[in-house]
Amino acid sequence: MKAKKRISAALAYPLVNRLIVENLPPHKMLYLTGLLCSIAAAGATGASAWIMKIMINTIYVERNAAAVWGISAVIIGISLIKGIAAYSQTITTGKIRRAIVSDLQNRQFSRVVRFDISRFANQHPAKFVSKIMFNARAGASVILTLTSSTVSDALTLVSLTVVMINQDPVMSLISVAILPVLFFSVGAITRKIKALARGETELAALVQSIGTEAIEGIRTIKSFQLEDKAVASFAKAVRKMEKRGIEINRTSAMMSPLMETGGGLIIGLFIIYASWQSLGNGKTPGEFMAFITAFLFAYEPAKRLARVNVDIQKQLVAVEQMYELIDMPVQQSRGDGGERLTNAQGAIRFEGVSFSYDGGNPALHDVSFDVRPREKLAVVGRSGAGKTTIVNLLLRLVEPDKGKVFIDGRDSAAISLADIRDNIALVSQDVFLFEGTIRDNIRDGRPSATDAQIQYSADLAQVSSFASGLENGLDTLVGPGGTNLSGGQKQRVAIARALLKNAPVIIYDEATSALDGENERAVMDAAFDAAFNRTVICIAHRLSTIKAADRILVFDAGQLIDSGTHKDLAGRCEIYRSIFHLSTPAVIEGGRKLRA
């Protein structure tokens, strides 16, 4: 785990200021309503303590029975005002909290989906989601603690302090004098909690990541009988989080004995002082009761105020992480707002392109090649050869470290990112379907498409062949992530979605890996026929998929090794022969046999 970074006071203030300034103003009317309720509740609390003096002196000292009804009515009225104010404050604060949490979650998520794809390489998706949720709740907690809870407690203390000073200024000063000692002790506890809190969100994200990973890979876990390993891994992470939580709670709990001892000391001193005053006829029982009541009422808000820094520091760790996420630069979209890509023909050129993920080993090194408009190009290579990186660069999911990528003779870096992606349709090996129907997922290729156009694309991609056997046809729900469909069915839906997009460039990245040979040939024949007027780039390992290509590029270790037709490469390229020696039973081409 990384070393724990502490949030200094110099950093905490601008962080809190930014958080409040950016998020509270949109809810100012609700906040002002809550503030008025806080003022009313604080005034009612002070009045509740003050009325004790009148009640004790009038009813019990002066024995004035006639005043009972009037005093009782006042007490009921004060309690009613306090109850209504507290209820209204809780409602308004709850609305503000929910709105701020939603805003912060949306803001973070909006940022994350615009990150360069390489940022996700070493981060489990569940960790991103966990941080987004936790950070937003922490941000709302900081805002409302400082602007609502703390303000409410401070107003209550002011109201009660006025009552206390009115009854006995000397004892009020003694009470206030003890508070700095308590706050000094609280400061020491705060510093320790800051050191402990930083790893709490990371541990929570780790637990969610391990749990999500296990559920996503449940078939593998069961097939290899890895249940015990998965449970042990999850339990280990949970124990770490539990240990950190216990440590934080133990440190936070030290606040209670400190405040209890301080409160008891003040009450003890006041009883001694009040007894001495009463013996000298300086104070009435009502004044004594009003002071004690005000002090006891003040104890809880004072204790909460003493804990504010502790509570805030625990949350500021998550707030800092939230702003690190929000302020993190998004993909280097150098051409956004630049040139438009209209009437694209589908010509592509890579010129001296090199790229590495996170500065590691090169995924591509000095790669150059051309793709003619409407050419059917296949790209082959061993795992890790750089094939998918070509797709990522073409879509500008990442940017080249060196060299340039051209589309229709124009540097893609100067073209609007949205226009590039509008003109390229991708079918990936790892098919992602959104929860909804088969029709909904196909329609994502072109939201304005008619049902007839969707049906046509479904027919081309052989989706109709299995959808017709389902009770609801294309309106069948696919389930979360497409869990109601097989791997091959999901790939057909993805192909239909890409065909519906009608982009001038279509990329098949291992798009039929989950289909058997017969279905693969049928689907790819249909896909190539449908793309007769488009540029097609096909990444595959099966000869049945690539033999129909006009040209084949062979990659190895991030470099372009050779290019040509299947017949040419089968005769001269050892790497090409090696690839298909491993992946096909036997292929006879032009009298040459490649053995399985």
In the predicted model, what is the mean pLDDT of the chain? 83
Whether 163 and 62 map to the same domain: the answer is yes
Range of the structural domain that residue 365 is part of: 332-421+547-596
Same domain, 159 and 301: yes
- Alpha-carbon gap, residue 491 to 485, rounded angstroms: 10
Are 345 and 322 within one domain? no
Contact 494, 525 (CB under 8 A): no
Same domain for 263 and 293? yes
DSSP for 61-114?
IS--GGGHHHHHHHHHHHHHHHHHHHHHHHHHHHHHHHHHHHHHHHHHHHHHTT
Residues 6+ apart with CB under 8 A from 558: 361, 362, 363, 364, 365, 367, 385, 386, 389
Q: In this predicted model, what pLDDT tens digit does every residue of 70-121 receive, in sequence order?
A: 999 999 999 999 999 999 999 999 999 999 999 999 999 988 887 777 666 6
CA end-to-end distance (rounded Å), the chain? 48
Specify the CATH number for the domain of residue 554.
3.40.50.300
Q: Do 355 and 283 reside in the same domain of the chain? A: no
Tell me, yes or no, whether 339 and 276 share the same domain. Answer: no
pLDDT above 70: percentage of residues in the chain? 82
Give pLDDT, residue 211. 81
Looking at residues 396-404, what average pLDDT do you find?
Answer: 90
* Count of structural domains, the chain: 2
pLDDT at 136: 94
Query: What is the per-residue pLDDT for 282?
Result: 63
Question: What is the average per-residue pLDDT within 158-187?
Answer: 77
pLDDT of 323 higher than 50: yes
Of all residues in the chain, the percent with pLDDT exceeding 90 is: 36
What's the residue count for the chain? 596
Q: Are residues 120 and 194 in the same domain?
A: yes
Claim to verify: residue 323 and residue 390 sit in the same structural domain: no
339, 297: one domain: no
Which of 262-266, 307-311, 342-346, 574-578 bottoms out in mean pLDDT, i.e. has the lowest?
262-266
Query: Is-contact 585 596, C-beta < 8 A?
Result: yes
**Is 522 exposed, middle or buried, given 0-12, 13-18 or 19+ CB atoms closer than 10 A?**
middle
Output the pTM of the full model: 0.68
State which of 286, 310, 327 marks the end of a domain.
327
pLDDT(250) > 80 = no
**Are 321 and 338 within one domain?**
no
Task: Give the residue-averaged pLDDT of 201-214.
Answer: 76
Residue 406 lies in a domain: yes
Tell whether 73 and 90 lie within a shared domain: yes
- Position 2 scores a pLDDT of 41
Residues 316 and 362 in one domain: no
